[in-house]
């Protein structure tokens, strides 16, 4: 499969690295800093053998681009690094990226366009809304609901059963 990454910042470079490890070929990066491949050129890359991933740290902006891509007929990728643990009883919605050493435990639902960053832990039976970012090393204990567009910062621990 071909992959189109929208954004070439730090998160975009991280996604590029993971995509290479997952065997995507070719990988094309669109970014407004590149006059030959600006973001708004994405529609010319839409095809049956191509997936897209918006690589923006801004949660709302990432979801906006996901909608643009899908409304134009493009398909979103979901990237899960091989060193992460994702329970087979977890639901991961499209456009989500799970980075190295992350853990997502049983019964959890991860909303579309979320980022589960390096070493983050999401315990059992959590529901993460759309566009959530669980930052490196953050811990979300079991039975939590994290609202759309939320960011749980690095080192933060969300106690069990807290709805935020």
Q: CATH number for the 79-154 domain, one of 3.40.50.720, 3.40.50.880, 2.60.40.10, 2.160.10.10?
A: 2.160.10.10
Sequence spans of domains, the chain: 2-76, 79-154
Read off the pLDDT of residues 16-39 as tens digits, 9 standing for 90 and up: 999 999 999 999 999 999 999 999
pTM: 0.95
Is pLDDT at 162 greater than 90 in this prediction?
Answer: no
Give the C-alpha separation, 19 to 107, whole Å: 26
Report percent pLDDT > 90 for the chain.
96
Confidence of residue 161 (pLDDT cuts 50, 70, 90): confident
Give the per-residue pLDDT at 73. 98
Q: CATH number for the 2-76 domain, one of 3.30.2130.30, 2.60.120.10, 3.40.50.20, 3.40.50.300?
A: 3.40.50.20
Average pLDDT over residues 139-144: 97
Give the per-residue pLDDT at 164. 67
Give the C-alpha separation, 163 to 147, whole Å: 8
- Asked if 137 and 102 count as a contact pair (C-beta separation under 8 A), the reply is no
Average pLDDT over residues 89-118: 98
Closest by CA to 98, choosing from 64, 113, 57, is 113
Give the C-alpha separation, 23 to 9, whole Å: 21
Average pLDDT over residues 105-131: 98
Structure tokens, 134: 């669980």
Read off the pLDDT of residues 38-88 as tens digits, 9 standing for 90 and up: 999 999 999 999 999 999 999 999 999 999 999 999 999 999 999 999 999
Structure tokens, 163: 């709805």
Please provide the average confidence, as pLDDT, over all residues in the chain: 97
């Amino acid at each position: 499969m071909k992959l189109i990454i929208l954004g070439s910042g730090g998160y975009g470079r991280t996604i590029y690295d993971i995509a290479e490890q997952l065997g995507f070929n070719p990988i094309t990066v669109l970014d407004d800093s590149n006059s030959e491949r600006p973001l708004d050129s994405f529609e010319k890359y839409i095809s049956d053998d191509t997936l897209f991933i918006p690589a923006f740290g801004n949660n709302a902006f990432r979801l906006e681009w996901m909608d643009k891509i899908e409304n134009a007929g493009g398909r979103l990728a979901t990237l899960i690094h091989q060193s992460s643990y994702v329970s087979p009883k977890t639901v991961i919605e499209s456009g989500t990226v799970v980075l190295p050493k992350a853990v997502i435990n049983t019964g959890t639902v991860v909303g579309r366009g979320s980022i589960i960053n390096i070493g983050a832990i999401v315990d059992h039976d959590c529901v993460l809304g759309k566009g959530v970012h669980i930052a490196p090393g953050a811990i979300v204990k079991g039975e939590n609901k994290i609202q759309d567009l939320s960011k749980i910062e690095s080192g933060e621990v969300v106690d069990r059963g807290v709805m935020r």
